[in-house]
Amino acid sequence: MRIKEHPILNFDHTVKIQFSYNGKAMVGYKGDTIAAALFDNGVRHFSDSVVHKRPRGLYCAIGNCGSCYMNVNGEENVKTCLTLLEEGMKVSSAISEVNDD
């Protein structure tokens, strides 16, 4: 689900950006954060809780909770909810088993 109209923000969904997530090719749009693009591509499992290893999804989307930490272009612990998507990014989760079907 995407916000198509907003009273303050302007969305430009005409410029597509190619990136990969756990080796799978995905598409986002100029101005998307990595987390927004992943969510739009159906990814709901962003991380696991430290103690109980339960799945965590996109939660606050403002950089406060840490549920969206992933590896981006080899850099660990990147807050994907604050990082803008760039062409060719390689995003990977720290989740041992990924099941986003």
Average pLDDT over residues 53-79: 89
The answer to whether 85 and 17 are in contact (CB under 8 A) is yes
The yes-or-no verdict on residue 98 having pLDDT over 50 is: no
- Residue 95: its pLDDT value, please? 65
Average pLDDT over residues 17-40: 95
- Residue 1: its pLDDT value, please? 62
The yes-or-no verdict on residue 21 having pLDDT over 90 is: yes
Average pLDDT, the chain: 86
- Residue 99: its pLDDT value, please? 45
Domains observed in the chain: 16-90 (3.10.20.440)
- Pairwise CA distance, residues 74 & 16, whole Å: 23
